[in-house]
Amino acid sequence: AQSVSQHNHHVILSEAASLELGCNYSYGGTVNLFWYVQYPGQHLQLLLKYFSGDPLVKGIKGFEAEFIKSKFSFNLRKPSVQWSDTAEYFCAVNAGASGGSYIPTFGRGTSLIVHP
Amino acid sequence: ETGVTQTPRHLVMGMTNKKSLKCEQHLGHNAMYWYKQSAKKPLELMFVYNFKEQTENNSVPSRFSPECPNSSHLFLHLHTLQPEDSALYLCASSQGRTDGYTFGSGTRLTVV
Q: Bigger pLDDT: A95 or B45?
A: B45
Check residue A102 and give its pLDDT: 64
DSSP string, A57-97: EE-GGG-EEEEEGGGTEEEEEESS--GGG-EEEEEEEEEE-
Q: Bigger pLDDT: B98 or A91?
A: A91
Q: Is a pLDDT exceeding 60 seen at residue B72?
A: yes
Q: Is a pLDDT exceeding 70 seen at residue A77?
A: yes
Is the CB of residue A7 less than 8 Å away from at least one CB of chain B?
A: no
Q: What is the mean pLDDT of residues B12-20?
A: 93
Interface A-B, measured as beta-carbon pairs within 8 A, has a size of 60
Asked if A108 lies within 8 A of B98 by C-beta distance, the reply is no
Q: Is a pLDDT exceeding 60 seen at residue B7?
A: yes
Q: Is a pLDDT exceeding 90 seen at residue B66?
A: yes
Cα dist from A105 to A33, A80, A89, B27, B82, whole Å? 10, 28, 14, 22, 25
State yes or no: cis peptide before B8, omega within 30 of 0: yes
Check residue A100 and give its pLDDT: 53
Whole-angstrom distance, CA of residue A88 vs CA of residue B16? 34
Instruction: Residue A42: list chain B partners with CB under 8 A.
Output: 105
Q: Is a pLDDT exceeding 60 seen at residue A99?
A: no
Mean of all residue pLDDT scores within chain B? 90
Model pLDDT for residues B73-93, shown as the tens digit of each residue:
999 999 999 999 999 999 999
